[in-house]
Structure 1
Amino acid sequence: MTSLSPQASPQSSLSRIRIGSAPDSWGVWFPDDPQQVPWQRFLDEVSQSGYEWIELGPYGYLPTDPATLKEETARRGLTVSAGTVFTGLHRGPEVWDATWAHVSDIAALTQAMGAEHLVVIPAFWRDDKTGEVLEDSALTPTQWRNLTAQTERLAHEVRERYGLKIVVHPHADTHIDSEENVTRFLDATDSSLVSLCLDTGHYAYCGGDSVKLIETYGERIGYLHLKQVDPLILAEVRADEVPFGPAVAKGVMCEPPSGVPALEPVLAAAQKLDVELFAIVEQDMYPCPPDKPLPIAQRTRAFLRSCGA
């Protein structure tokens, strides 16, 4: 991280970065799952950890009635930064109607909560629970054209109808994962419509360098997810071709600052972009014991404060 001048304080060094957390950091991957903590406990504990911003997580985990959710978040001092949608847009125009039915409900709630971003996660090519291969891990040229064109269409519709910006999330076991695929996607999409949610953990999982991406494609970075991977476990799961879900169960995503990438240089590079950015902590831990997330969240928030965030 760049050194601070004598006049600067650590607290002001990352003044454009807004730190938050998400249900993911409490082991929440699904709208309803007996292995997950109740949504009330998540809201209580994320507030107790010192965060002020949260994401909606899987649609239906938090209350979907805006009045209820506003009341529950406000009394805990929390504000929503984004909603999340899952898409399979490489499959072409024939999936548009089903995609929009999924997106529109989440976009409406995101808008009602005063947030401005919609995180778009591409479809997995293998099942994140069973590891079953669902389709080829590489896209054909036609599928790439579908992916980019339909993503631009989604961005336009979401902006026009709900006033939201989409940020596409490169993700392990999807077709937007490695540096090669991320840069191919960015180069083929309209920068005025499509931005990136850079997840530092997923990008490292797939071999990418987050600082390099920020420095190279800074104008396309619209949102951050802060996450680290355990390099030893990562080497094992990559060598054994372990699917992402079981890899998480093995602990491939770890508590900062014990993993990679180092978050201080990432945050410093993001601050240099001179734009307001959300940086949402997401430590994948599904499934996890109910008492595990809170201490980790508290330590992580303290660590990020030590970085100036």
Structure 2
Amino acid sequence: MTSSASAPARIRIGSAPDSWGVWFPDDPQQVPWQRFLDEVSEAGYEWIELGPYGYLPTDPARLADETRRRGLTVSAGTVFTGLHHGPDVWDRTWAHVADIAALTRAMGAEHLVVIPSFWRDDKTGEVLEDRTLTAEQWRDLTTQTERLGREVRDRYGLRIVVHPHADTHVDSEENVSRFLDATDPDLVSLCLDTGHYAYCGGDSVKLIETFGERIGYLHLKQVDPEILAQVVADEVPFGPAVARGVMCEPPNGVPALGPVLDAARRLDVDLFAIVEQDMYPCPPEKPLPIARRTRDFLRSCGTPVRAPDTPNRSGK
């Protein structure tokens, strides 16, 4: 994705179902998928992620029609994995990945966001396993992730981008660096989520400057530092922390997104930067105004986002 003189590098801004409070394929607290598609287009975005598999239509022809007539294009799908458990979980993992990868490819996207499994339940806080991996589990995580990257590339033509995430084993600066040092750059890239990385104490600009060649994708979000300090002190699981508002609307939190985007632009590669403000659960009328304000803020940072009154590519 390296740019050329005739095609300068771009940061392509989009949004995701997560910014509409969508965490599950089907949940009465979530907005219907039609409303999400209508509103994300109305807010001025052109790129979206699939979100939890089964939330948006899984028939490629229908999804292509629904997105096309709203001027939307899919940038990535998302899968959840527990690859540190070793080869024994491969078949179960691949069964989860294959359908999502096929739909992602059918929609013309090139990326598959890979989120490691949680060490504690994100709703109840139940500890599911030790929060620290053994040396053997680290080997399994890295080798099986490389295997996933190879299989997804060879079978579906997709690039995996691993997403450091709160309450997983790939979270802090130390663990992210260890993961990147132990994996093949040709097979494994990173989805840098600015909010999750800040949640876990990391510096996004430093990570981009240190591991620039590994940054394959961005998620843009911020954390409220006061709420973060409270949830860390109280050892609050990620789900309840989100319900407290730990992930907040830009530019009200950290990290500052302007410097992050500037650092990303200096890489001189094409990147997706997908707005993903965790808000589950949330009132159905809350996401659209936030999405509009966030679009305006990102435009002020020098990132082009289609204005909401601009006709989409279907001319409607």
Shorter-chain TM range is over 0.9
SS of 2:219 mapped into structure 1: strand
Distance 1:115 1:284 in 2: 23
Aligned: 1:139 with 2:139: no
Once the 2 structures are TM-superposed, how far is the Cα of residue 266 of structure 1 from its aligned partner? 0.2
CA offset digits 1:264-309 (Å, max 9, x no partner): 0000000000000000000000000000000000000010001111
| Number of the residue aligned with 2:259 | 265
Match of 1:7 in 2: none
1:189 to 175, 183, 186: 183
State the TM-score, normalizing by the size of structure 2. Answer: 0.93
Residue 36 of structure 2 corresponds to residue 42 of structure 1: yes
Structure 2 gap segments, 5+ residues each: 1-7, 304-316
For normalisation by structure 1, the TM-score amounts to 0.95
AA at the equivalent of 1:259: G
For the residue of structure 2 that corresponds to 1:118, the secondary structure is strand
Q: Please name the residue that 1:245 is paired with.
A: 239
- Aligned-pair Cα RMSD in Å: 0.7
- 1:23 partnered with 2:11: no
Match of 1:106 in 2: 100
- 2:272 equivalent among 274, 278, 281: 278
In structure 2, what is the Cα distance between the partners aligned to 1:269 and 1:42?
31
- The amino acid of 1:125's aligned partner reads W
Task: Return the letter of the residue paired with 2:255.
Answer: P
Could you tell me which residue of structure 2 aligns to residue 236 of structure 1? Answer: 230
Counting only pairs closer than 5 Å after superposition, residues 84-123 of structure 1 correspond to structure 2 as 84-123=78-117
- The percentage of aligned residue pairs carrying the same residue is 85
Distance, in Å, in 2 between the alignment partners of 1:15 and 1:302 is: 21
Contact 2:166–2:199 under 8 Å retained in 1: yes
Superposition map of 1:122-201 within 5 A = 122-201=116-195
Give 1:269's aligned amino acid.
Answer: A
Whole-Å separation in 1 of the counterparts to 2:70 and 2:30: 20
Deviation at 1:15, TM superposition (A): 5.8
**Runs of 5+ unmatched residues, structure 1:** 1-13
Task: Provide the C-alpha distance between the structure 1 equivalents of 2:147 and 2:186, rounded to a whole number of angstroms.
Answer: 12
Which residue identity is paired with 2:271? L
Give the match's secondary structure for 2:128.
Answer: coil
Following superposition, the deviation at residue 16 of structure 1 comes to 1.4
Matching residue of 1:4: none
User: In structure 2, what is the Cα distance between the partners aligned to 1:109 and 1:194?
Assistant: 20
Q: After superposition, where does 1:267-306 map in structure 2 within 5 Å? A: 267-306=261-300
**For 1:31, what is the secondary structure of its paired residue?**
coil
Secondary structure in 2 matching 1:270: helix
1:208 corresponds in structure 2 to 202
Letter in 2 for 1:73: T
Number of residue equivalences:
296
Deviation at 1:203, TM superposition (A): 0.1
- State the Cα deviation string for residues 108-157 of structure 1 (Å, max 9, x = none): 00000000000000000001111111000000000000000000000000
